[in-house]
Amino acid sequence: MKRNTWQREAVKTALSERGDFVSAQRLHADLKQAGSTIGLATVYRTLTDLVSADEADALQSPDGENLYRACSSEGHHHHLICRNCGHTEEISAEAVEAWAATVAAEHGFTQPRHVVDVFGLCATCSAATSA
């Protein structure tokens, strides 16, 4: 029986105000710098709950650290992420859904699920790199 607490609300708001993926550590540091007394464990718990409630997405960084981002659209989607600045855009992936289902079936696999993330340099960072 989940209860609403001011801490959960604060974490949720902090995450929503960020458009990009962010780690629990980072989010906690930001909240702390803004004067919040919320504990790190609470940040982790809240983020985990948001993911379970399909209100946020989780992603593993190359380092193995979990990153979180508030969902800006409902339903199944994927991410296009700038590996320089972190800017993230949500993308639909019907083509990949179909492909994954087909490939799985061809190999006799059932209950297919897929992990698909696209990284690159966003327009802004691409332009900066060229200069």
**CA nearest neighbour of 40 among 61, 52, 24:** 24
Burial of 24 (0-12, 13-18, 19+ CB in 10 A): buried
Phi, psi of 20 (to 5 degrees): -105, 175
Among 37, 64, 74, 75, contact with a second copy (rule: CB under 8 A) = 64
Which residues in 99-118 contact a second copy (CB under 8 A)?
A: 99-100, 103-104, 107-118
Would you count residue 7 as binding DNA (CB under 7 A)?
yes
Would you count residue 51 as binding a second copy (CB under 8 A)?
no
Would you count residue 29 as binding a second copy (CB under 8 A)?
no
Q: How far is the CB of 46 from DNA (least distance, A)?
A: 6
Name, in order, each residue with C-beta under 8 angstroms of 34's C-beta and a sequence gap of 6 or more.
none
**Residue 114 binds: one of DNA, a second copy, none (C-beta under 5 to 8 A by kind):** a second copy
